[in-house]
Amino acid sequence: MTDAIACTGLAYAFGDTRAVDGLDLTVREGEVFGLLGPNGAGKTTAIRCVTTLLPVPPGMVAVLGHDAARDRMAVRRLLGYVPQQLSADQGLTGRENVSLFARVFDVPRRERAARVAQALAAVDLTDAADRLAGTYSGGMVRRLELAQALVSAPRLLILDEPTIGLDPIARTGVWEHITAVREATGMTVLVTTHYMDEADQYCDRVGLMHRGRIRALGTPVELRQGLGERRGASATDPLPSLEDVFRDVAGSGLDDTSGDFRDVRSTRRTAQRVG
Ligand SMILES: Nc1ncnc2c1ncn2[C@@H]1O[C@H](COP(=O)(O)OP(=O)(O)OP(=O)(O)O)[C@@H](O)[C@H]1O
């Protein structure tokens, strides 16, 4: 089976900052894969390389068998992307927002209305579809963005911190919709999150990224058992949490020196606008 994403020695630098530094990563078709890591680990940069928004040399990134450098348009057609920054226009209704994406992604004119309605229904926004997005709650806005990404029926859905700034109930709502769409369509989902409990509950596999590379990879249970064994825990001891694994891998990455001004500013701005 072709992998949904294959990154081989992926590297990307902003000046002297090596944001992604030799990333090897395979995401299998049909799985929900969580990319975790402290602020500044390189998650968003890696995602932007996969989505072709940042240019990479041939051979570093393939999406469903298409090289991101050689076959950029094919890659773009296969994926739906919900960035950290909000992409919905608050002056348009939910339906208008999704229709705009349908046009941009060349959904055939005859099918457009039905596909827009289907995408809105998939995220439970049918009743609110004709209200201005500016009147939506934070959770509804995130679901609307999910509908925008789904309307082109992508085979790979990429979500950068889809639940940031949401309350626990809205977070659960977003995840339940992601899970339901994945089950209905079999699409692959790559998601970044800082919420370890979400990764533990909803991701089939997770990769912990630190300083531009994957430092641990596996199912949440495998990673938690692995840490338990390294600590010499007995079979009856409770498993360490995914957060313990994260601290073990990222170590100093979780102290006050992780990330920089830009990271804090962008995270706050996103959280404020969603919340
Ligand atoms: N446009 C840019 N210009 C300069 N440096 C950048 C730019 N984008 C990212 N960086 C730097 O690259 C590194 C990786 O950033 P990136 O946003 O990929 O991390 P991240 O893991 O997504 O972080 P977060 O969890 O805060 O979103 C950081 O040191 C960041 O400051």
Domain definitions of the chain by residue range: 5-274
User: Phi and psi dihedrals of 239, rounded to 5?
Assistant: -65, 145
Structure confidence by residue, pLDDT tens digits, 9-65: 999 999 999 999 999 999 999 999 999 998 899 999 999 999 999 999 999 999 999
- pLDDT at 167 (0 to 100): 85
* pLDDT level of residue 86 (50, 70, 90 thresholds): confident
Q: How far does the centroid of ligand 1 lie from the alpha carbon of residue 27, in Å?
A: 22
Query: Which bin fits 144, alpha (ψ -120 to 50), beta or left (φ > 0)?
Result: alpha
Of ligand 1's listed atoms, the one at least distance from the Cα of 262 is 31
* pLDDT level of residue 264 (50, 70, 90 thresholds): very low
Q: How far does the centroid of ligand 1 lie from the alpha carbon of residue 24, in Å?
A: 18
Residues with a CB atom less than 6 Å from ligand 1? 14, 17, 19, 37, 39-45, 259-260, 262-263, 267
Instruction: Tell me: pLDDT of 255 over 50.
Output: no
Cα(144)–Cα(89) distance, rounded to whole angstroms?
10
Q: Between 154 and 86, where is the model more confident?
A: 154
| Cα distances (angstroms) measured from residue 197 to each of 7, 18, 53, 143 | 26, 29, 29, 20
- pLDDT at 266 (0 to 100): 53
Query: For all residues of the chain together, what is the average pLDDT?
Result: 89
**Mean pLDDT computed over 161-169:** 86
Query: Of 215, 175, 177, whose CA–CA distance to 198 is shortest?
Result: 175
Cα(66)–Cα(68) distance, rounded to whole angstroms?
6
Query: Of 69, 66, 43, whose CA–CA distance to 56 is shortest?
Result: 69
Task: Identify the sign of the CA torsion 230, 231, 236, 237.
Answer: negative
Q: How far does the centroid of ligand 1 lie from the alpha carbon of residue 109, in Å?
A: 38
**Is 5-274 a domain of CATH 3.40.50.300?**
yes
Mutate to test the pocket of ligand 1, among 10, 14, 208, 265 (most ligand atoms within 8 A of CB): 14
Cβ contact 41:207 at 8 Å = no
Instruction: Tell me: pLDDT of 252 over 90.
Output: no
Structure confidence by residue, pLDDT tens digits, 226-242: 999 888 888 788 899 99
* Strand blocks (E) in the chain: 5-14, 17-27, 32-36, 61-63, 66-67, 79-82, 156-160, 188-192, 205-210, 213-218
Instruction: Tell me: pLDDT of 272 over 70.
Output: no
Single-letter amino acid, residue 166: L
Q: How far does the centroid of ligand 1 lie from the alpha carbon of residue 114, in Å?
A: 38
* pLDDT level of residue 181 (50, 70, 90 thresholds): confident
Smallest CA separation from ligand 1 atom 25, residue: 39
- pLDDT at 270 (0 to 100): 53
* pLDDT level of residue 271 (50, 70, 90 thresholds): low
* pLDDT level of residue 257 (50, 70, 90 thresholds): very low
- pLDDT at 198 (0 to 100): 93
**Mean pLDDT computed over 102-118:** 91
Counts for the chain of helices (H) and strands (E), in that order:
10, 10
